[in-house]
Structure 1
């Protein structure tokens, strides 16, 4: 229950639903336990009529409502048949009242569990959005999805059905035992004697279930991750003809899950035979000991019949103890997995606290060093750079030289391990992060489009759904003509991750998404590697106009002659190996000149 204590805030939030639900459970079970008393009275009445004997040798100990009902019916002096019929109607009325309050019970507690499920999924998803980039590089998407879907659903089984059945069985057992003891304490003691065996069995089996439940959920996460990766990489799988290999991999994960789940259900299967055995032993004791007491005139036959009815009524709640205990253990295992992430704190909290500035575009890196925490790769070492407002900077270098790291540090996806980054004179850590990011446009190297319309994907960049603004951004990104050829044009659905579009079209839509904003800083991270030379020329022509009054950092492995950069930085192994204008760098005959000459040769050959 330590793990499940995280849910107490939800129970408090919906406390009135819970309180009403508990009240309805007790009322429903109250009417249920009255039925054996009425039945016992009728049996004694019938026995007395058939034997022409006095009805009661021993006065029955009934509930006040049953006593009042009996006295009210008896005063009318109906015939024997009429009295039995009236008591039959009383039993029917009790059953209807019990059913009505059971309906209210489910309407309060089960509906409450659905509200809690909604709140918890929202909490988990919101927390996911707050976590930093490193978290997502060290955790698999399938596991994240499984925790929010499957684990939250298992927890809902605790906040709804398990809570309801637990309170129900407590209420029914308490009321039944109360009236059994009220009728005959000695017989009740014999009937309840096997219960310690039940308690020991539940304690022992629950410990096993808890461990196996965690194992099952972990295996299910592996299975979900395997499936998610297969769906996302289906084109790669098909192109390398690896369908059978992936199927074998999936079957292995599925077999591991089946083995773990089967082992869990085998343990759970122990519950029901134990419950049946205990109910059976108790029933035998009632018949045996109750029969002897009846023969000795110590108990009415109707009371004995009531005891057997109480045991029959207790059969379901007692058997439900196993299901409730198993459900709670599963929920605890799932909540523990959820708490692992919910208690994970982002190293870069996404909050609105901090200094808010109107971004001008002055950037300073001072002795910045950075090591990727999930790999240990050193990307930057004592890196220094100053960019003034409105400057156009190109970062050029081979793969792994640290170019993209600079972009990620500027967006504060990571914090440097040493050194300081200042934006307009303010350390980036002191800025209100979301307010700062709203003023930055970023086109990542890995393009991602949402499964939505083209218009909504472009508007996502600035929340501007104005058709003219969307069209202008698409035109600047040289994708407007392509969009017009689609049947639905801007309302065309692009499919998951933009799968229905070509690589170049996805890149240009991603650029349009950045251009629809009016940022103080724009970062383009190798975002033209999937477009042809003619389209590249169009985009660069538009960008030259768009970037005129903005600070821009263009990360690339190509040299763009159509864009006039104030400075070109040649990165190598986390350092600035060379810097200067295009002409200055060519004169140095260094890395930049070598890159330029090779690019010219490739273009001549092509």
Structure 2
């Protein structure tokens, strides 16, 4: 139960629903357990008046006696019916409070997990699979809801009913009660051992379910690669193996669960036999009445559901505990990138300074930057060029604090970015990533994602500056065209330009473009560069590219190699050094772009 303790805050939040649910449960049970008392009185009444009826069989009072006795039985019958209706009504209220409460908790828990995912840094997402994260916010939360709803409701009902019934039985005959309940210790022992097995199997099943979800998600996302390489059959075999493991574990758990039902039935059967046998002896001995025996039999039958629900509830609690443990693992994660206690919002002008920055990716151990130094003055345009893995993208991600460097500082306008509020920093820097991502929404909303408050005119203007407006207007629905999952309905170049438009619409003072023109043709590239040159006139811009934009007058060009600055200068200065940049420029001029793409990124 230690893992489920994390849910106590929700019980406090919905304490009135919880308390009312407990009250309605208790009232419903009170009306239920008093029905056998009326049955006892009916049997005792029958026993007492049967002799009198026989004595009056030859007199005129027979008819009067029968009429009065029939009315008495009718009264008792209506009373039992009334108690049953009242019990059912309060059971309805019980479900309306406790089950509805469980849905509220499910809603809150899913939102808490999602918000936690939003807070966590990129390292977390690189270390955990999407399918596993999806499984925890869906399947695991559903199992937890079964605990805060049905399991809690039936557990409460079981405890209250058992306490009340055992108390009433004890009041009638303690000895018979002890005989009737003698199978309980064996039942408790069975539950203890089976629960331990269920908990272990539930943990394994949830882990395997996450694996299935991850395999399916990866296959759906990479379906074009799978089809291109004709790997449908191997993919199906891989999924089948994952499903087979899940099936075997689920069947194993089902077999364990199946032990509960026969065990409960056996215990109830033994209790009924003992009640009838011992109770019959007590009736013969004159210690109890036939009505008491009938009352005991009814109480034992009423205990049938609590006994059966013990196993079911215990199983749900064990599964919920295993799921909540998995959920807690992610909820307990602390984001490594967060606001400092004294972080402040600052209006950025555009001066950027990388001071002796070194960075190592923890999950791979690869050193992306080594003692990197770079100063960019407000309004300057800087190009970053280098081989694959030289650290270009790392620079961009460090600037917007997707990661923090292990050594050195990054300053904007003289302030360490770790002393700025994350939201303020990222709101004032537009970043066009290398890996373009579009949402399953309209083109207009994908562009407006950069500035949700922007009007349609601003959306069109941004699309025009990114040289994608003409392409969009050719679609039947124009800017209202749905792009499909990850923008699958658009070409690579169109997706890149929509991504650029998304960044331009924010109109910040600092912009970072990470190889965002790799999928466009030369004519479109020239048009975009022309638009950007005018747009970026008074802005600080960092452009990461594998091509040389000879039409773009960069104030500084940086060539990275193995995380350090290999060359630095203007276009003319770098050509005179006859290094990487000069080699790249020569190959580009002679049309050897394929060779360049293999050496640089």
Shift of 1:152: 0.6
Q: Could you tell me how far apart the structure 1 residues matched to 2:66 and 2:465 are?
A: 97
Does the CA contact (< 8 Å) of 1:351 and 1:433 recur in 2?
Answer: no
Please give the secondary structure, in 2, of the residue aligned with 1:356: coil
Please give the secondary structure, in 1, of the residue aligned with 2:435: coil
Corresponding residue for residue 218 of structure 1? 207
What is the aligned residue count? Answer: 586
Gaps of 5+ in 1: 55-75
Q: Could you tell me how far apart the structure 2 residues matched to 1:478 and 1:366 are?
A: 36
Written as runs of structure 1 = structure 2, the 5 A alignment for 1:308-323 is 308-323=297-312
Corresponding residue for residue 426 of structure 1? 415
Whether 1:380 and 2:369 are equivalent positions in the alignment is yes
Shift of 1:450: 0.6
Corresponding residue for residue 3 of structure 1? 3
Please give the secondary structure, in 2, of the residue aligned with 1:52: helix
Shift of 1:465: 3.4
Superposed CA offset, 1:301-348 (max 9, x none): 111011110111110111000010010010000000000010010111
Superposed CA offset, 1:562-589 (max 9, x none): 2110000011111111111111111111
Please give the secondary structure, in 2, of the residue aligned with 1:500: coil
- The two structures have a TM-score, normalised by structure 2, of 0.95
Does the CA contact (< 8 Å) of 1:352 and 1:433 recur in 2?
Answer: no
Written as runs of structure 1 = structure 2, the 5 A alignment for 1:253-292 is 253-292=242-281
Q: 2:503 aligns with which of 492, 503, 514?
A: 514
Corresponding residue for residue 39 of structure 1? 39
Q: Could you tell me how far apart the structure 2 residues matched to 1:226 and 1:336 are?
A: 22
Whether 1:558 and 2:551 are equivalent positions in the alignment is no
Corresponding residue for residue 69 of structure 1? none
Written as runs of structure 1 = structure 2, the 5 A alignment for 1:145-164 is 145-164=134-153
Please give the secondary structure, in 1, of the residue aligned with 2:454: coil
Q: Could you tell me how far apart the structure 1 residues matched to 2:340 and 2:447 are?
A: 25
Superposed CA offset, 1:354-377 (max 9, x none): 121111111111111100111100
Please give the secondary structure, in 1, of the residue aligned with 2:5: helix
Gaps of 5+ in 2: 55-64, 596-601
Superposed CA offset, 1:368-406 (max 9, x none): 110011110011011111111111000011111110010
Corresponding residue for residue 387 of structure 2? 398
Please give the secondary structure, in 2, of the residue aligned with 1:396: strand
Whether 1:439 and 2:448 are equivalent positions in the alignment is no
Corresponding residue for residue 533 of structure 1? 522
Does the CA contact (< 8 Å) of 1:39 and 1:302 recur in 2?
Answer: yes
Corresponding residue for residue 73 of structure 1? none
Corresponding residue for residue 111 of structure 2? 122
Q: Could you tell me how far apart the structure 1 residues matched to 2:254 and 2:342 are?
A: 49
Written as runs of structure 1 = structure 2, the 5 A alignment for 1:107-256 is 107-256=96-245
Does the CA contact (< 8 Å) of 2:587 and 2:593 recur in 1?
Answer: no
Please give the secondary structure, in 2, of the residue aligned with 1:395: strand
Does the CA contact (< 8 Å) of 1:459 and 1:465 recur in 2?
Answer: yes
Please give the secondary structure, in 2, of the residue aligned with 1:518: coil
Q: Could you tell me how far apart the structure 1 residues matched to 2:579 and 2:285 are?
A: 114
Q: Could you tell me how far apart the structure 1 residues matched to 2:66 and 2:345 are?
A: 88
Q: Could you tell me how far apart the structure 2 residues matched to 1:470 and 1:240 are?
A: 39
Please give the secondary structure, in 2, of the residue aligned with 1:602: coil
Q: Could you tell me how far apart the structure 2 residues matched to 1:581 and 1:349 are?
A: 37
Corresponding residue for residue 580 of structure 1? 569
Superposed CA offset, 1:546-576 (max 9, x none): 1100000000011011211000001111111
Q: Could you tell me how far apart the structure 1 residues matched to 2:461 and 2:267 are?
A: 77
Corresponding residue for residue 409 of structure 1? 398
